[in-house]
Amino acid sequence: MASPRNLFEEFEREAFRLETLDNYNIPRAADDFRAFLAGEEQPESFRNSPWVTTVRNATESGKRMYRVHILSRPLTDYLRYELGWGYHRNAAAGEEFFILDTTGQENPLEGVPDFWLYDNATVNVMHYDETAAFTGSEVLPEEQTPKFITYRNKALSLAQPFPEWWAKYGTE
């Protein structure tokens, strides 16, 4: 089985991500987050990050990268940053985004962790500590994949395309 780090290079058709947190504690993004909060321009290093290259390389070769973020309003400062800067940047590189907005309703996927699903075959579950810092990931046994395909399908069936959602709620 491929290590989680190589899965982005090795998937053949599609990579799906479910995001569930209102904050991600990413130390390497701290300066970018501070710049966002201060109303500054996006740093060049943010606009041309290695992730943008990963996304662009995948999508230009015909692969699909897409995600659903489960969230509720009002947005945290971090979500305003992630969606306002990150999603727009990544979308320009070819990644697709959807929002499952649970404002005023129950989360239909409560308790489902963040994960990547590659080619409907490999599930990589993301782990975070109580501060929302990434602590590692684990590739699950194949017999668990159908459950995560169901989670993905449910999230997509209830989510709105990000551009439509952002046009309506992005300035709140």
* Radius of gyration from C-alpha coordinates of the chain: 16
Q: Quick one: average pLDDT of 125-154? A: 96
In the chain, the number of structural domains is 1
Phi, psi angles (nearest 5°) of residue 25? -85, 95
Amino acid at 70: I
Question: What pTM did the predictor assign?
Answer: 0.93
Q: Is the pLDDT of residue 5 over 70?
A: no
Q: First CA to last CA across the chain, in angstroms?
A: 44
Place of tokens 């058709």: 13
C-alpha span between 46 and 104 (Å, rounded):
33
Place of tokens 């309003």: 73
Q: Are 81 and 24 in contact (CB under 8 A)?
A: no
Q: Is the pLDDT of residue 35 over 90?
A: yes
Nearest alpha carbon to residue 24 among 135, 125, 105? 135
CATH number at residue 133: 3.30.870.10
Question: If you average pLDDT over every residue of the chain, what do you get?
Answer: 94
Phi, psi angles (nearest 5°) of residue 40? -85, 170
Least confident range from 3-7, 67-71, 106-110, 127-131: namely 3-7
Q: Is the pLDDT of residue 2 over 50?
A: no
Q: What is the pLDDT of residues 39-92, one digit of tens each?
A: 999 999 899 999 999 999 999 999 999 999 999 999 999 999 999 999 999 999
The alpha carbon of 129 is separated from its chain's Cα centroid by a whole number of angstroms, namely: 17
Q: Cis (ω within 30 of 0) for the bond into 27?
A: no
* Residue 13 tokens, joined: 């058709």
Its domain, for residue 102, covers: 4-169
Q: Quick one: average pLDDT of 145-169? A: 97
Residues 6+ apart with CB under 8 A from 11: 58, 63, 118, 119, 122
